[in-house]
Amino acid sequence: MNADEINYKTLRRIQEMEKKSPSLTRIESNFYNDLSKYLENLDDRLGKESSPQKQMLLKVEIQDTNKIVTSIYEMREKKILLATISKARGGDPNLKNLVDVEKDLFESTLELMTQMRKQVLEKKSKVSTEKEKTVGPKKEDKNNGGQENSKPVVRVTKGIPKFIGTDMKEYNLREGDVLSLPADMRDMLSKRGVIKEIKQQ
């Protein structure tokens, strides 16, 4: 796909394809470079245009095009992050339609995620092992039959935008919400001051 082949119509087509597909759709390897040239060309045309009416039309085209471009990128970005989570957990996501700049995003995010998982989970494992050596087997709780409450109830103290959790579910946390969360998410959000555990009687 060349820069002169990118236009509002082709971008709309790519946007619709991304919406309909759960995985990344195929785009040309130089898509982002050609897209940048196309947007620069629109700006140049606007700067050189003397007709107020045509200037208005170009401004609308530029605004609409930027919205579509943002939509395409954010949909692909979300799919890449989900693929990264899958790979970090031992999965085999479909990566065949990643272009070079997206491969960089995938690999750098995967490296960071893998390092964090290693640090957190290995540390947790060591702490658990040391605790077992020191304390010994945990006595059974008569009140709950020995079943540990792995998901304490928490209250949201500060709302945050929608995000995909480590359990692959979409969350929209609003201030005052009360809910249970997986341990790794609970620890992360607690450190950020987003939630506070509700002490149960």
Token duo for residue 191: 């450190």
Which pLDDT value is given to residue 165? Answer: 77
Closest to 21 (Cα-Cα) out of 89, 81, 78 = 78
Q: Do residues 95 and 106 touch, judged by C-beta distance below 8 A?
A: yes
For 171, the enclosing helix (H) or strand (E) is: strand 170-171
Kindly state the tokens that stand for 139: 């006595």
Provide the pLDDT for residue 4: 46
pLDDT tens by residue, the chain, 201 residues = 444 488 889 999 999 999 999 999 999 999 999 999 999 999 999 999 899 999 999 999 999 999 999 999 999 999 999 999 999 999 999 999 999 999 999 999 999 999 998 888 876 655 555 555 555 444 444 444 444 445 678 888 888 887 777 777 778 888 888 888 888 888 888 888 888 888 765
Sign of the torsion angle spanned by Cα atoms 5, 44, 60, 55: negative
CATH for 149-201, options being 3.40.50.300, 3.40.50.11720, 3.40.5.50, 1.20.1640.10: 3.40.5.50
Residue at token pair 């008569």: 142
pLDDT at 132: 55
For residue 39, the one-letter residue type is L
Q: How far is 81 from 19, CA to CA, in rounded Å? A: 16
Domain boundaries, the chain: 3-110, 149-201
Fill in the DSSP letter of residue 6.
-
- pTM for this model (two decimals): 0.58
The whole-angstrom separation of Cα 106 and Cα 98 is: 9
CATH of 3-110, one of 3.40.50.720, 1.20.58.1030, 3.40.50.620, 3.40.50.300: 1.20.58.1030
| Amino acid occupying residue 141 | D
Please tell me the predicted confidence (pLDDT) of residue 151.
64
DSSP 10-56: HHHHHHHHHHH-SSPPP--TTHHHHHHHHHHHHHHHHHH---HHHHH
Q: How many CB atoms lie under 10 A from the CB of residue 53?
A: 8
